[in-house]
Chain A
Amino acid sequence: MSMIKLIAKNSFRHTLRVILTIVGISIAVLAFGLLRTVVTAWSAGVAASSPNRLVTRQAVSFIFTLPYAYKDKIAAIPGIDQVSYFNWFAGTYIDKNQFFARVACDPETLFKVYPEYQLSSNEKAKFMSERNACILGIETAKRYNVKIGDIMNIDGDIYPGKWQFVVRGIYTPRTKSDDATQMFFHWNYLNERMKSDYPNRADEIGWYVIKIKDAAASATISQRIDNLFKNSRAETKSETEGQFQQGFVASSGAIIGAINIMSYLIIGIILLVLCNTMIMTARERTREYAVLKTLGFTGKHLFTFIAGEALIISCIGALIGLSSLIPIVQGFESVLPKGWFPVFNIENSTYVMAGSSALLVGIIASIVPIYRALNTRIVDGLRFNG
């Protein structure tokens, strides 16, 4: 009991230095948490994907389309529950800097393959019955202050022309990691206009999303779909939703890798700050340690004193850092261009990693001072002069 008291008293003997060290550690923990959050946000799409969903797209690249006629052929494969289809619409809303996904969908199957997008049955019915209706994720609706009944004017790029949609619903995500920024509208609306304006671009699908009954069969079913259209004009590539999302993340892998390396360098920096403090502290107390040894305290005791002090400092620093992480992450998100990350949350793993590395750092930082304290002869220690 009295040892703990001594450790605690010792920790705050040099108030200014300890406060500075704690601030230093908490800042580093903060930076670490922020970088980890960026890394996890980047792959949020992978994390939110369902193993029960397959994505089938054109084999050459997702910018090419597939025939609408594939739908029934895919649906006939056993093990498939639901086939839904989408077209990437893009276009310009207000100006070119407003990013959020604008997608043509099949309203009938949308909610069957994506149960995580929640819409009241009233709004759902209105959305389905009106040809030029659209729904928005709640984040996007809030961002542009759009209400039900408002008109969305969009300048088409992939599908040229002026487009108007009426907002008939605002969907909410089931969990924080689901994307609540997208806009969905009727594929039929798009297709009718293509039929009259660009007949050679009618009845084309961007990608199919297929809900399968058993996730374990995903590889076999993907293979069967791709075999079905082998050697046709539009060959397909099917994979699980997770693999599909991973493809996008992998393209930016180098930058994510660099951010990752930085986050570990930060741990190194925390270590240096704490090491420095502990070495200085122990150096100043060389004489005290000699006195303690003379009084009969053993190496084990000295170890407890030094490591305990380092751990107290690193844990307080980590706690302060982690508790200020939430406002900093929010602030960071607010300066980023909107829509860059549909999902930007602090993952639990980030807290765990930051906390455990602070503990580890506390232990490592006490190695040198403990070694020195143990290896100083009592006589030399007593003679020591700052």
Chain B
Amino acid sequence: MVYDLTDNLMNIPLYYIWKNFLARKLTTGITITGIALVVFVFAAVLMMADGIQQTLSSTGSNDNVVITRKSSSGEITSIIDRATADLISTMPMIQKDETGKPLLTSDAVTIINAPKKDGGGLSNLAVRGVSENALKIRNKITIISGRMFTFGARELIVGKAIEERFSNIAIGNTIKFAGDNWVIVGIMDAEKSGFESELWCDASQLIQAFNRVDYSTLTFRISDNANIEQLKALFAGDKRLNQYEPENERKYFEKQSEAMRLFIQILGITITIIFSVGAMIGAMITMYAAVANRTTEIGTLRALGFQRMSILIAFLVESLITAFIGGFIGIGLASILQFYSISTLNFGSFSELSFSFALTSNVIQGALTFTGIMGFIGGFLPAVKASRMSILAALR
């Protein structure tokens, strides 16, 4: 027998599929709920991984270059001494501002403990000392209330995310560290990037207070006619600089998220594989039962002239519809998570990083593909069984 597909598509008893949903509300409802839960968990895990990555990669800018000590694992373990910092700051590849000063900030990064609001005890906060041109280089930052700290004073501005999570963090309050009181004078917004989880102050004040001499990292705006590869070659070839490493700022912060993202992804993939098998089995059980319960009906349909292929497609479509209803509910529930932000210890910087669940198009595509596969595999075998029934046996 040769089937004409278009002809068969016309012959699918769609109205019959719809009636079946209504006839078995409870089982169909349970299957849909199950698939919705699976898709929800799947999407939530992916959203978490994407959220961390988005937060950190938006922290850096493609126009900036970070210099760190080669062997350092993060900003806090990087050390750049003053002589090297001076040497780097005179390089011609650095863009100048309107007054001719290099667009460069020498940062000193450290960690302090602060009590969290939710009674979660103490947590690590990154404190970043910056130079005067810092806001020109990192132009995502705006002061949303209060004012910028004064260079030369022991003042702080704090990221929005910290203000929400830590107690005692508000404009006018003081934080005691390094044997001195630091006054909070402003709150900054950094377009949801990692800087929103930091405290900023004057780098030279921070270095003095902690009795240090060296900076942690240097960040500068690279001039239009230079590129990162040239810089890398230059550093590698210079005896005074070959202990240090230039990196695109965006890439640098992205790398810091790698460990955490990898962990969540591996966990996510493992759980998803396990789950999808479970959900397919759930769909299969429902569909097999649907076929078994409707033996007589299938026989009748066949006797009425519906082809085997039409029956197969009808059951497959039923399974896919069930899966997609569940899938959309799952994605819908997961999209609510976007409005929540959570925080974690970022192992790259060893301080707390706040991030939101990100519903990216990748997540939606992934979840829908996953739903489709579940519906198809779950429905295929039962549909084959239905289509292979002989009219006589079925009607008996």
Q: Which residues of A contact B (CB under 8 A)?
A: 16-17, 20-21, 23-24, 27-28, 30-31, 34-35, 38, 59-61, 63-64, 90-92, 96, 155-158, 160, 200, 233, 237, 246-248, 250-255, 257-259, 262, 265-266, 268-269, 272-273, 275-277, 279-280, 284, 332, 335-337, 340, 368, 386
Contacts and interface: CB of A to CB of B under 8 A. Distances in A.
Interface string B114-144: 0010001111100000000000000000000
Given A20-B281, A92-B71, A265-B37, A255 B266 contact: no
B231 to A, nearest CB: 20
B110 A61 contact: yes
Interface in B204-244: 210-211, 213, 243
Interface of B: 26-27, 30-31, 33-34, 37-38, 40-41, 44-45, 48, 69-73, 76-79, 110-113, 116, 120-124, 177-179, 210-211, 213, 243, 259, 262-264, 266-267, 270-271, 274-275, 277-279, 281-282, 284-286, 288-289, 292-293, 296, 342-345, 350, 352
B186 to A, nearest CB: 22
7 contacts: A21-B281, A31-B274, A60-B177, A158-B77, A251-B343, A265-B41, A273-B278
Contact of A92 (B73, B78, B266): B73
A200 B211 CA distance: 10
Contact of A332 (B71, B116, B266, B288): B266
A257 B340 CA distance: 14
B122 A34 contact: no
A336 B266 contact: yes
A259 B267 contact: yes
Contacts of A233: 179
B296 to A, nearest CB: 8
Q: Is the interface of B mostly helix, strand, loop or mixed?
A: helix
A273 B271 contact: no
A16 B288 CA distance: 9
Most buried by A among B30, B38, B69, B120: B30
Nearest to A57: B113
B281 A27 contact: yes
B285 A17 contact: yes
A30 B110 CA distance: 42
Given A17-B288, A269-B38, A273-B282, 20 more contacts: A21-B285, A34-B270, A35-B271, A60-B113, A63-B76, A92-B71, A157-B73, A160-B71, A160-B79, A246-B121, A251-B344, A254-B343, A262-B44, A272-B31, A275-B30, A276-B27, A279-B26, A336-B263, A336-B266, A386-B296
A113 B64 CA distance: 48
Contact of A28 (B259, B278, B293): B278
A272 B31 CA distance: 7
A28 B26 CA distance: 22
B263 A340 contact: yes
A60 B178 contact: yes
Contacts of A247: 121-123
Given A63-B76, A160-B69, A272-B282, A31 B48 contact: no
A255 B259 CA distance: 14
Nearest to A160: B79
A280 B285 contact: yes
Contacts of A237: 113
Contact of A269 (B37, B344, B350): B37
Contacts of A284: 292-293
Contacts of A258: 44, 48, 342
A272 B33 contact: yes
Given A20-B284, A279-B26, A268 B31 contact: no
A386 B296 CA distance: 10
Contacts of B124: 61, 251
Contacts of A277: 285
Contacts of B342: 254-255, 257-258
B264 to A, nearest CB: 7
Contacts of B76: 63
Nearest to B276: A27
Nearest to A88: B77
A250 B26 CA distance: 42
A39 B315 CA distance: 41
A155 B71 contact: yes
In the complex, which of the residues A246, A259, A269 has the most CB atoms of chain B within 10 Å of its own CB atom? Answer: A269
A30 B76 CA distance: 40
A269 B34 contact: yes
A296 to B, nearest CB: 29
A159 B109 CA distance: 16
B282 A91 contact: no
Contact of B262 (A257, A279, A337): A337
A91 B71 contact: yes
A334 B287 CA distance: 37
Contacts of B38: 269
A131 to B, nearest CB: 23
Contacts of A23: 277, 281
List the 6 closest A-B pairs by CB distance, nearest first.
A251-B345, A254-B342, A24-B281, A155-B71, A272-B34, A157-B77
Interface centre among B77, B278, B289 (most CB of A within 10 A): B278
A31 B116 CA distance: 32
B123 A250 contact: yes
Nearest to A59: B113
B276 to A, nearest CB: 10
A64 B210 contact: yes
Residue in A160, A268, A368 with the greatest tally of chain B CB atoms within 10 Å:
A160
B91 to A, nearest CB: 22
B350 A63 contact: yes
Contacts of B30: 272, 275-276, 279
Contacts of A64: 110, 210
B77 A61 contact: no
B282 A24 contact: yes
Contacts of B264: 255
Contacts of B69: 157, 160
A59 B179 CA distance: 11
A251 B352 contact: yes
A284 B170 CA distance: 65
Nearest to A332: B270
Contacts of B296: 386
Contacts of B120: 250, 253
Nearest to A237: B113
Nearest to A35: B271
B27 A280 contact: yes
A273 B34 contact: yes
A23 B285 CA distance: 11
A286 to B, nearest CB: 12
A137 to B, nearest CB: 20
Contact of A90 (B37, B77, B121, B243): B77
Contacts of A17: 285, 288-289
A59 B111 CA distance: 11
B48 A255 contact: yes
A275 B30 CA distance: 8
A183 to B, nearest CB: 16
A59 B112 CA distance: 9
